[in-house]
Chains A and B, each alone.
Chain A
Amino acid sequence: ETGVTQSPTHLIKTRGQQVTLRCSSQSGHNTVSWYQQALGQGPQFIFQYYREEENGRGNFPPRFSGLQFPNYSSELNVNALELDDSALYLCASSHREPRSSYNSPLHFGNGTRLTVT
């Protein structure tokens, strides 16, 4: 089975720019979650997508937005980048049973390391 893949692996942007990060979910998974991991800290939940809709959001401003596509892949978009946005962005996929709140365990990708200068 194909695991979670993220692209690009590394990215350098300038403050004020916009960035798009991509994630392909593991085969058989229909739910994608995004996390931000600052250096030396644990990951923080950004949001989750299920059936192409946002299904839960953490404490992140609206300039963080996302999409999920019919093939369950996902994008994370960040507008008006700030220096504090520098972090490892992790995508995790899982399978949610229809008409159930149960999600299978998360499988994480290796992340995109974003540096904002």
Chain B
Amino acid sequence: TQLLEQSPQFLSIQEGENLTVYCNSSSVFSSLQWYRQEPGEGPVLLVTVVTGGEVKKLKRLTFQFGDARKDSSLHITAAQPGDTGLYLCAGGSNFGNEKLTFGTGTRLTIIP
């Protein structure tokens, strides 16, 4: 069974601070996706990384896929209240997204 563990589970920081969320597994994934989920809504895809060591940037968000494709990190620079939400990583075992294994989630709160 493939498992993805995220840390921290909860994070509350002041606006303007930096933060990193981690997503770790003992399994290799062909792709790793990050989603953000707001209360009452479904997850929204932020990024997909597919190559070991790959780094992608989305404005103030930086995503990295581990060299062995077993782990990933999400770094947010100068966090803003709009970044508040549940961040989920998800591993794909096939480029086809047939079955995503989601992590346990990190609930992020940015305090104005």
Taking Cβ atoms with an 8 Å cutoff, the residues of A that contact B are 4, 33, 35, 40-45, 48, 55-56, 58-59, 90, 92, 94, 96, 100-111
**Would you list 8 pairs from A and B whose C-beta atoms are within 8 A, ordered by A residue?**
A42-B103, A94-B97, A103-B96, A106-B45, A107-B45, A110-B42, A111-B41, A111-B42
Please, how many angstroms separate the alpha-carbon atoms of A80 and B1 in the complex? 26
Q: Does B56 contact A (CB under 8 A)?
A: no
* Minimal beta-carbon separation of B7 from chain A (angstroms): 13
Please, how many angstroms separate the alpha-carbon atoms of A90 and B40 in the complex? 11
> What does DSSP make chain B's interface, helix, strand, loop or mixed?
loop
Name the residue of chain B whose CB is nearest to the CB of A3: B42
Please, how many angstroms separate the alpha-carbon atoms of A104 and B33 in the complex? 12
Contact of B97 among A90, A105, A108 (CB under 8 A): A105
B31-66: contact bitstring with A at CB < 8 Å (1 yes, 0 no)? 001000000111111001000000000000000000
Contact of A105 among B6, B45, B94 (CB under 8 A): B45
Q: Does B84 contact A (CB under 8 A)?
A: no
A-B Cβ contacts below 8 A, count: 66
Q: Which residues of A contact B88 (CB under 8 A)?
A: 42-43
**Beyond A35-B102, A43-B43, A107-B45: 7 further Cβ-contacts under 8 Å?**
A43-B100, A43-B102, A56-B98, A103-B98, A106-B97, A110-B40, A110-B41
Given A41-B105, A90-B42, A90-B43, answer yes or no on A106-B100 (Cβ-Cβ < 8 Å). yes
B99 and A92 form a contact (CB under 8 A): no
* Minimal beta-carbon separation of A106 from chain B (angstroms): 6
A48 and B102 form a contact (CB under 8 A): no
Name the residue of chain B whose CB is nearest to the CB of A46: B99
A42 and B42 form a contact (CB under 8 A): no
